[in-house]
């Protein structure tokens, strides 16, 4: 049984008159101990999907199974309590600036593990040590620490309840490039020790390649390509993924391949075109893309693509 299984997930925001469909039918599985990456541009719905998996928002329809129990139903929500955790993009905003960071890491031990305060503090110290923060940081306030250190506090806090899945929503986006590697190393070592699964949300393609076993590419609320990291980068199939990979700037001297540039911008989630969502920007568009909605089909083993032009 998969750890997480998402079925036909749909999420609308807004009133009936002003409806935005942000997630338009997503299926996804995450196995135990696996890291699944989600990439996409802003507005593609990757954060919304992550928040639904973490139980922070209710889906409009569709099911989220956690070890076979549908946690999108209100009565089953307690089943996943403390077993799915989230690390947010901006650690300064996701931590309480009035409490010392140590007490914030101790909080889940007290509330979820029902420990006494002194015990919780002991555990929190150990937990902070495991993310390479020494005891001297325990009493610091968030304003006295750097962004990279705060993100490590946030990771320690997420690990406190010994979750089986951590949703990482752009955990390195607000940090300097030189600190990315430190956070990624830390996450990989945590995973080796505890066997936790990650849902890693990012827009950075090189980053996602270095941490994920499988990667889903999102565009306008749908996963348009889902494959192993190897397949996605070596044998890119969907025209959107191709454009995304080619648009990412690369370091190096002169000789560089011709760019595939998409025309225009991502349409608004309020006016999603009928048929394929990429139809107005796609270089391979033909009649069928405008009248029929493509489905995510498995092309080769483990490589799923949602495009009529791919056989």
Does residue 269 touch another protein according to CB under 8 A? Answer: no
Q: How far apart are CA 140 and CA 61, in angstroms?
A: 43
Q: How far apart are CA 180 and CA 185, in angstroms?
A: 9
Separation of first and last alpha carbons in the chain: 30
**Minimum separation from the CB atom of position 32 to another protein (A):** 25
Q: How many residues bind another protein (CB under 8 A)?
A: 34
Does residue 244 touch another protein according to CB under 8 A? Answer: yes
Give the residue, chosen from 254, 257, 271, 301, that forms a contact with another protein under the rule CB under 8 A. Answer: 254
> In sequence order, which residues have a C-beta less than 8 Å from that of residue 185 and are 6 or more positions away?
none
Report helix, strand or coil for 13: strand
Does residue 278 touch another protein according to CB under 8 A? Answer: no
Nearer to another protein, 40 or 102 (CB): 40
Question: Strands 35-39 and 214-219: what pairing?
Answer: parallel
Q: How far apart are CA 277 and CA 270, in angstroms?
A: 12
Question: Strands 197-202 and 165-169: what pairing?
Answer: parallel
Q: How far apart are CA 235 and CA 228, in angstroms?
A: 10
**Minimum separation from the CB atom of position 230 to another protein (A):** 16
Segment contacting another protein (CB under 8 A): 59-67, 108-116, 135-143, 174-182? 174-182
The residues in 77-96 that bind another protein, with binding defined as CB under 8 A, are: none
Does residue 257 touch another protein according to CB under 8 A? Answer: no
Does residue 207 touch another protein according to CB under 8 A? Answer: yes
Contact positions toward another protein, by CB under 8 A?
41-42, 148, 176-182, 184-185, 203, 205-207, 210, 243-244, 246-254, 256, 259, 261-262, 265-266
């Amino acid at each position: 049984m998969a750890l997480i299984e998402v079925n036909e997930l749909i999420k609308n925001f807004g009133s009936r008159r002003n409806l935005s469909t942000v997630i338009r039918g997503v299926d996804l599985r995450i196995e135990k101990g696996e890291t699944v990456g989600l990439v996409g541009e802003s507005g593609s719905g990757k954060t919304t999907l992550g928040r639904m998996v973490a139980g922070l928002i209710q889906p409009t329809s569709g099911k989220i199974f956690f070890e076979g129990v549908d946690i999108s139903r209100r009565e089953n929500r307690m089943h996943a309590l403390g077993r799915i955790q989230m690390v947010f993009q901006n650690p300064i905003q996701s931590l309480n600036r009035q409490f010392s960071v140590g007490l914030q890491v101790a909080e889940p031990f007290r509330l979820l593990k029902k420990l006494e305060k002194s015990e919780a503090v002991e555990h929190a110290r150990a937990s902070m040590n495991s993310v390479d923060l020494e005891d001297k940081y325990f009493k610091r306030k968030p304003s006295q620490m750097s962004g990279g250190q705060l993100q490590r506090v946030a990771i320690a806090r997420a690990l406190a309840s010994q979750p089986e899945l951590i949703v990482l929503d752009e955990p390195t986006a607000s940090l300097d490039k030189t600190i990315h590697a430190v956070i990624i190393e830390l996450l990989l070592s945590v995973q080796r020790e505890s066997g936790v699964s990650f849902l890693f949300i990012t827009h950075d393609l090189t980053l996602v390649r270095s941490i994920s076993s499988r990667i889903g590419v999102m565009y306008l609320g749908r996963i348009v390509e889902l494959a192993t990291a190897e397949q996605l980068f070596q044998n890119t199939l969907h025209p959107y993924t191709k454009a995304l990979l080619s648009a990412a700037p690369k370091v190096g001297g002169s000789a560089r391949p011709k760019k595939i540039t998409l025309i225009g911008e991502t349409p608004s989630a309020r006016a999603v075109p009928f048929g394929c969502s990429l139809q107005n920007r796609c270089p391979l568009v033909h009649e069928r893309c405008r009248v029929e909605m493509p489905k995510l089909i498995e092309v080769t083993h483990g490589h799923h693509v949602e495009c009529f032009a791919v056989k």
